[in-house]
Structure 1
Amino acid sequence: MDVAPEELQFLSIPDILRESVSIPERSPKAFNLITLVLIFPLSFAILAHSLFTHPILNQFESHTARWTLLLAFQFFYLIFLFGFSLLSTAAVVFTVASLYTSKPVSFSSTISAIPKVFKRLFITFAWISLLMFLYNALLIAFLFIFSLAVNTQNVVLSFLAFILILVLFLGVHVYITALWHLASVVSVLEPIYGLAAMKKSYELLKGRVNMACILVLGYLAICSVIGGTFGTVVVHGGERYGVFWRIVVGGFLIGVLVIVNLVGLLVQSVFYYVCKSYHHQGIDKSALHDHLGGYLGEYVPLKSSIQMENLDT
């Protein structure tokens, strides 16, 4: 699918997904290593988290040792999740951009470039985390006040109002998630980060909010199904399912989540170019080439078969 710059803005969601899943074919070795070293540990940790905390919670008592163990586990889990999430994002976005600019792609070159962009991603993620924290705090406070103020005489009306408010706030959550994902790509590919990257992401999303929300909702829905199935069969299915089937299902679900996370990161990168094209912002391949070159130093230009390589500014 050779796409001209002016046609990128017309890509549909199936087109974006098709382009995203085809990208690893351009450099299978690099993407296989990224998947194995970065995305697999991230996906495993996301699902295995409940598997390790469940026994602790089952035996939980008010003893200080139990509290300490649980809090320590949660702390290291969040650090691990946070770190590998940033590393995976930086690696995939950087590799896709390198392919686009015909730069040589290898796992070692990607890893060597990550330290240069990690700080930028960290600052952007910190601001997004603050925004998400404030949003969640506001949601909890609002729902608490609403629960005290509702007319309990009309249970149906109160329930419908509660659902409406919850849906509206969930919409905001999805939008913030889309803002976060696009800002992460901006932080890697442009010389801005933090609030500036969030502002740029907000501008790029204009006119493409519905598409972004559909992509995010699809990703979150698939992850919810995977997580729910893992919890039902692997974590809580000890009496109903044997050890063998729990291992088989658990391994299968981890593999599916690895693929979902990889495709999700690829979609982030492609969607960035779609938004740029929609706003008629030329994709300066020379500038992007130099920007990536600043991470890698000298390079020998190679030809890449990635479809979007044919985009000229």
Structure 2
Amino acid sequence: MDREQDELQFLGIIGIYKESFKIIYNWRKIFSQITLTLILPLSFIFLAHIEISNILLSRILHSELVLDETRGADSASRQKKLSDVINKEWATYWLFKAAYLTSMLIFGLLSTSAVVYTIASVYTSREITFQKIMRVVPRVWKRVMITFLCTFLAFFLYNLLAIVVLVLFVIFNGNGQSNAGDIIGFFLLILYVIGFVYMTIIWQLASVVSVLEETRGIKAMIKSMKLLRGNMWVATIIFFKLNVLAAVLQFAFQALVVRGGMFGTMGRVGFGVLCLLLLFKLILFALVIQTVLYFVCKSYHHEIIDKSALSDHLEVIYLGDYVPLKSKDVQLEQV
């Protein structure tokens, strides 16, 4: 990052995009290695999950259709066998979903840790190698994982509260024929979406805080909330644009690959590879952007980052829990 810290506060949305692109371009070798090792598998798992889920659900729907057709026509034993097959297919589906979510969580947090540590090393002009990053990532991953678990709990409570509000709304709204009830319901939906987006942005920035500061979990989330004050609209617009692009890619993959039988096998494979390339580039760009946004927010609040202190912090992470002794900490005794 060539800019001085006090200049970062003046970066707008376009400026953050340019700064992120410049970082990726100047350090394209190290980011290519991170992408091939962590982000590419993450992207592949996401797209493969869409295809495999579609296949599993198609089998389940076909089995349920066959079961409906056999009722009243075949013996009870055949119906029982079909019911057992459907139960096994549903079990396979949910086991696959659990494996998918676990894999996404692992590679997602590892990718975030690697990118944030790399950019911080670039910012402090530290020597950085891919081997060094791979040694650091497992240690940093633990800090980010704690923050994720706290965020997951916050999302769980938030959705639980939303369900309670929805139940109360349905009870008091009665048959739901009044225009006032529709307006209130729409207003509550808008509030829910705003809260969900706000919490997601807080979690993304809190992941960066967990790597670069001595805070994690709830403290990192609180710190993230403070940093976003004054830049919430910038973060929201960036979040919206990136998620729209991700949604367009997902829709394109479903239309051209999952349901793209008209294009033939080679055509589907070609579109699948194209979607994979675009997706891992988008994920890398998004991770770099959220790290740059952290430095922009720090600069906006005039929280000067001491490069030497940050460099020492990164060194402690690299060495694990061991903090090297300085000369002033060593006292010689005369025997």
TM-score clears 0.5: yes
Deviations 1:15-69 (A, max 9, x none): 0011001112232221101011100111111122120011111111543321221
- Letter of the 1:167 partner, please give it: I
Match for residue 137 of structure 2 among 86, 107, 114: 114
Structure-2 separation of matches of 1:251 and 1:147: 46
Task: Compute the displacement of 1:2 (Å).
Answer: 5.0
Q: Which residue of structure 1 lines up, in the alignment, with residue 32 of structure 2?
A: 32
Backbone CA RMSD of aligned residues: 1.8
Identify which of structures 1 and 2 has the higher relative contact order when contacts are C-alpha pairs closer than 8 Å and 6+ apart.
1
Task: Compute the displacement of 1:165 (Å).
Answer: 2.0
Structure-1 separation of matches of 2:253 and 2:166: 30
Report matched runs for 1:1-313 at 5 Å. Answer: 3-60=3-60, 61=64, 62-63=83-84, 64-150=87-173, 152-154=176-178, 157-238=180-261, 240-297=262-319
CA gap of 1:252–1:140, structure 2 versus 1, over 3 A, is: farther
- Paired positions, count: 295
Q: Which residue of structure 1 lines up, in the alignment, with residue 79 of structure 2?
A: none
User: What secondary structure is seen at the aligned counterpart in 2 of 1:234?
Assistant: helix
Q: Which moved more, 1:163-172 or 1:256-265?
A: 163-172
- Any gaps of 5 or more consecutive residues in structure 1? 298-313
Deviations 1:163-184 (A, max 9, x none): 3322221111111111001100
User: What secondary structure is seen at the aligned counterpart in 2 of 1:282?
Assistant: coil
Instruction: Say whether the 8 Å CA contact 1:182–1:201 is kept in structure 2.
Output: yes
Instruction: Say whether the 8 Å CA contact 1:189–1:288 is kept in structure 2.
Output: yes
Instruction: Say whether the 8 Å CA contact 2:20–2:289 is kept in structure 1.
Output: yes
Task: Compute the displacement of 1:192 (Å).
Answer: 1.1
Percent of matched pairs sharing the same residue = 41
- Letter of the 1:93 partner, please give it: V
Structure-1 separation of matches of 2:59 and 2:10: 55
Instruction: Say whether the 8 Å CA contact 1:121–1:188 is kept in structure 2.
Output: yes
Structure-1 separation of matches of 2:48 and 2:116: 26
Q: Which residue of structure 2 lines up, in the alignment, with residue 303 of structure 1?
A: none
Task: Compute the displacement of 1:127 (Å).
Answer: 0.5
Q: Which residue of structure 1 lines up, in the alignment, with residue 80 of structure 2?
A: none
Task: Compute the displacement of 1:5 (Å).
Answer: 2.7
Instruction: Mark the structure with the bigger radius of gyration.
Output: 2
Instruction: Say whether the 8 Å CA contact 2:110–2:138 is kept in structure 1.
Output: no
| TM-score when normalising by structure 2 | 0.83
Structure-2 separation of matches of 1:143 and 1:262: 37
- Any gaps of 5 or more consecutive residues in structure 2? 65-82, 320-335
